[in-house]
Amino acid sequence: MSQIERVAIVGGNHGNELTGVYLVKKFQQYPNLINRGSFETLALLGNLKAIEEGKRYIEKDLNRCFTNQSLQNTQLSSYEDTRAKEIQQILQPQNQPFVDVIIDLHSTTANMGLSLIFCDMHPFLLRLGAYLTSINPMVKIFVNQQSREGGFLRSLCELGFVIEVGAVAQNILNAELFQQTEQLMYAILDYFEGCNQGNIPQSNSTLTFYQYIETIDYPRSDAYGGLRPRGKIQAMIHPQLQFRDYEPLNPGDPMFLTFAGKDIFYEGASTVYPVFINEAAYYEKGIAMYLSQKHQEVV
């Protein structure tokens, strides 16, 4: 692994996720907190207008605007498309290489604890995950290789990843989660510093992680009227599943509850581990949860 020279910490890609917004504001005010001797650290706010208005986005989801096709398309003129191009230029100033690491800070209404989300099984990120999970049992690792093509900010560089913190409501600050996320950030930066100095922190050699399988929508009626892409929701997350992110969901376990009070059961063939259960921002995307498989790997 070559030296890490530039790290970007980005908060507020979604303007109503305040943990990342206020952490970045703190880091901008007190840069000594994130300065390390062997690399440069940049603290950047993402969707500035959405932050100002307390919204997830203004016209479209900024964290889906970072595909190569979108970034190179000069005809795209929405606020988020324009801001995505600005962020790309900030992360790669003229005559400089692109940042080595992007840490994209998010919060979620799902009970995700302190989750690191990776696009792939990069050995350096897996070792980082093993170290962080060994020092903090709240840390979970979710690998979603599908997201490499989703236009996410983290996909712009090889060592890009997300920190997803929850459960916390939109437009709300939770002091405990804020402090836990802040301490996690310092541990990550210290890990990079140790690696640059040839003093890689010791950790467990086996990493437990959760790998994306599929996306599950809410039960819906047939689409109607041609005005909406999906029909009306017919059921809610079952009370026995709510807030049980990263816990096993077995065949035959209750998954949804209809408004008439009928249980809908998980019909898969094997045990899975749901994440992002009942995330508020995913209703518009037709996502009730992701299903994952639990793995262990020597790193």
pLDDT score of 44 more than 60: yes
Mean pLDDT of 155-161: 95
Q: Are 177 and 152 in contact (CB under 8 A)?
A: no
CA distance 25 to 195: 27
Domain-by-domain residue ranges, the chain? 6-204, 215-282
CATH class of 6-204: alpha beta
pLDDT score of 18 more than 90: yes
95-133 confidence digits (pLDDT tens): 888 999 999 999 999 999 999 999 999 999 999 999 999
pLDDT score of 240 more than 70: yes
Out of 2.20.25.160, 3.50.50.60, 3.20.10.10, 1.10.10.10, select the CATH number for domain 215-282: 2.20.25.160
117-126 confidence digits (pLDDT tens): 999 999 999 9
Q: Are 208 and 133 in contact (CB under 8 A)?
A: yes
pLDDT score of 28 more than 60: yes
Question: Is it true that 6-204 and 215-282 share their CATH fold?
Answer: no
Give the per-residue pLDDT at 94.
Answer: 80
Alpha helices in the chain (DSSP H): 18-29, 48-53, 68-72, 79-91, 123-135, 175-196
CA distance 26 to 153: 21
Alpha helices in 97-254 (DSSP H): 123-135, 175-196
Question: What percentage of the chain has pLDDT greater than the value 90?
Answer: 88
Please report which confidence band the pLDDT of residue 146 belongs to, taking 50, 70 and 90 as the band edges.
confident
